[in-house]
Amino acid sequence: MTEIEIRDPDPTGAEPAPAEAPAESPYKNLLVPLVVVPAMIVMVLVAVVMLFTSMTGKEDTPRENLARLLDGGFNERKQAAFNLVRQVIDARRARAEGTPAEWDIDESFLPELRRAREQVAALETPQDVPIPLVLSSLLAQLGDPEGVVQLAEMTALTDELDPEREYRMYAAMTLGAIGDELPEASREAAARTLIGLLESADAGMVLVAIAGLQNLPTAGTVPALTGMLASASLEQRGSAALSLATLGDAGGSAVLSELLRPEAYAAERTADARRWPAARVSESRIKALDALDALGGLSATELAPLLEDADAGVRSRALALRAEGAR
């Protein structure tokens, strides 16, 4: 899954103490997204970003939360946004599992969400962004094409409205996360947006777009990802190869084989130690191994050296694949 690290704000306003070790990613709060972006995780993270107070008292209904999100005080709106997103997630999970949902949140909720989104004032400061971002995300998740359009627009927020580029990233992640649920027209629109983001100067945004495209199969998706195989960044070409493999395209097999080799990470790690800490190298190699297996598997000769690899995780996965092949 794509991972986001969210630091709680210091209520004193003091600067955080210097870290003793480098962060795991050079992209601020983004960890390298070498796998698909799950919708559940994305929406939880959007909620957590806005959660400034802990939940207390009785739980309001979704409609009560929606009303409070629009008309409440600052902390009330944040609380209501968190509650509403969680309720939508719970309802989606219940439908997926075929179990009764605590709250009845389906397409019938769309008119109220649309009206709420229409009431949002023009964005003037970063503090204005989270509420419409949540509403647009929920609209898109419930099948409203306008929600997809709004999220696409929010991937192009200005630096004045999104100085940390976090809201743009959440919008892009959500488009990728719900891609396989979208009707064709909305899927095409979402894919065009993420394909456009492959040209972004923000390396983290490029990675999010590459990861999200594996959920957005369109006529332009595979060619766009294939073009990223020539990237000078191992992260970008490796992510593109994994996304192509998820789509059943073997065009990135050579890059997947590159990801399997420990020495492939050495140059980038020398340039910036945060890019490839040992745990991320291991994760990347295992994912490449699984992707190659899904595309047709490795021969016994190719698998043999991995059975004695220095990385225990790689050894274990190679042994499992050999056992599966023997059955």
Q: What is the pLDDT of residues 220-248, one digit of tens each?
A: 999 999 999 999 999 899 999 999 999 99
Last-in-domain residue among 187, 218, 249: 218
Residues 206 and 237 in one domain: no
Residues 267 and 325 in one domain: yes
Last-in-domain residue among 181, 200, 218: 218
pLDDT digit string (tens) for 245-269? Answer: 999 999 999 999 999 999 999 888 8
CA distance 2 to 22: 20
How far is residue 288 CA from its own chain's centroid?
Answer: 19
DSSP 3-state assignment of 282? helix
Q: Which domain holds residue 76?
A: 26-218
Asked if residue 256 is part of any domain, the answer here is yes
Residues 187 and 81 in one domain: yes
Residues 318 and 197 in one domain: no
| Dihedral angle, C-alpha 293, 296, 297, 299, nearest 10 ° | -160
Residues 156 and 78 in one domain: yes
Neighbour-count burial for 215-231, b at 16+ CB within 10 Å, e otherwise: bbbbeebbebbeebbeb
Residues 253 and 147 in one domain: no
Closest among 55, 179, 78, 69 to 113, alpha carbons compared: 69
Closest among 4, 31, 48, 5 to 239, alpha carbons compared: 31
Residues 278 and 207 in one domain: no
Residues contacting residue 267 through CB under 8 Å, at least 6 positions apart: none
pLDDT (tens place) for every residue of the chain, 327 residues total: 333 332 333 433 344 444 334 444 445 444 444 444 444 445 545 554 454 444 455 578 888 888 888 788 877 877 787 788 778 878 877 887 888 888 878 778 888 889 888 888 889 999 888 888 988 988 998 889 999 999 999 999 999 999 988 889 889 988 998 898 899 999 999 999 999 999 999 988 999 999 999 999 999 999 999 999 999 999 899 999 999 999 999 999 999 999 999 999 988 888 887 778 888 899 999 999 999 999 998 888 889 999 999 999 999 999 999 888 754
CA distances from 167 to 36, 48, 174, 206, 276 (A): 19, 13, 11, 15, 25
Asked if residue 300 is part of any domain, the answer here is yes
Residues 174 and 204 in one domain: yes
CA distances from 98 to 38, 93, 113 (A): 19, 8, 25
Residues 126 and 164 in one domain: yes
Q: Which CATH number belongs to the domain containing residue 88 in this structure?
A: 1.25.10
Asked if residue 1 is part of any domain, the answer here is no
Asked if residue 194 is part of any domain, the answer here is yes
Residues 248 and 150 in one domain: no
Asked if residue 7 is part of any domain, the answer here is no
- Burial of 192 per CB tally in 10 Å (0-12, 13-18, 19+): middle
Asked if residue 172 is part of any domain, the answer here is yes
Last-in-domain residue among 153, 187, 218: 218
How many domains, the chain? Answer: 2
Asked if residue 193 is part of any domain, the answer here is yes
CA distance 284 to 235: 9
Asked if residue 128 is part of any domain, the answer here is yes
Is residue 232 within 8 A of residue 203, CB to CB? The reply is no
Residues 90 and 210 in one domain: yes
| CA dihedral sign, ordered 276, 277, 282, 286 | negative
Residues 248 and 207 in one domain: no
